[in-house]
């Protein structure tokens, strides 16, 4: 079974993807944000041999992601600059990594499910019944919903060592 390297940006569906593949799918998920303070780690990552990993991204491109951030209620300027910085890091470093299937910015649930099933196949895993049921709704799971069962399951899987999470902050 291959692991997943999840390339993500803040507020693009990281927890949702982690829940589907890591908690429900039983796949080891390693993830990082494209952030300015992560550049030293990204420099190391881009030179590693990733044959044991399937690359997955939550978002299509930095400019589209930035547009979605600008459409949200981001009122503090430091936060807004943070998002701009993330997009710049993504634009600078993403070409150093293999092309990755995109999952969360697919608006159509059917397209998301097709993409997810391809990722499961690339990892050598058959989706569990729970994963199949989840893909019928694609209920978004955010870090702000820490007390909801899916968010608790993510935390528990991390603490039990079932899912490796490398959040390079």
pLDDT tens for each residue of 41-81: 777 777 777 788 888 887 766 667 776 666 665 444 445 67
In a domain, 85, yes or no: yes
In a domain, 145, yes or no: yes
CA dihedral 105, 11, 1, 50 (to 10 degrees): 90
In a domain, 136, yes or no: yes
Length of the chain: 169
Q: How many domains does the chain have?
A: 1
In a domain, 64, yes or no: yes
Which residue ranges in the chain fall short of pLDDT 50?
74-78, 159-169
Q: What is the DSSP letter of 94?
A: G
In a domain, 169, yes or no: no
Domain that holds residue 126: 3-159
What CATH number is given to the structural domain containing 25?
3.40.50
pLDDT at 87: 80
In a domain, 164, yes or no: no
In a domain, 104, yes or no: yes
In a domain, 165, yes or no: no
């Amino acid at each position: 079974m291959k692991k997943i390297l999840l390339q993500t940006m803040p507020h693009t569906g990281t927890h949702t993807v982690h829940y589907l593949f890591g908690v429900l799918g039983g796949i080891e998920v390693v993830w990082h944000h494209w952030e300015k303070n992560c550049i030293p780690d990204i420099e190391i990552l881009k030179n590693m041999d990733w044959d044991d990993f399937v690359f997955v991204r939550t978002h299509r491109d930095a400019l589209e992601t930035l547009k979605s951030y600008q459409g949200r209620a981001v009122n503090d300027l430091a936060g807004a600059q943070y998002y701009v910085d993330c997009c710049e890091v993504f634009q600078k470093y993403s070409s150093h990594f293999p092309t990755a299937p995109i999952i969360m910015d697919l608006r159509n649930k059917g397209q998301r499910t097709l993409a997810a099933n391809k990722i499961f196949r690339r990892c050598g895993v058959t989706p569990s019944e729970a994963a199949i049921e989840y893909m019928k709704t694609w209920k978004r799971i955010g870090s702000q919903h820490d007390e909801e069962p899916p968010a608790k399951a993510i935390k528990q899987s991390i603490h039990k060592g079932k899912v490796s999470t490398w959040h390079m902050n």
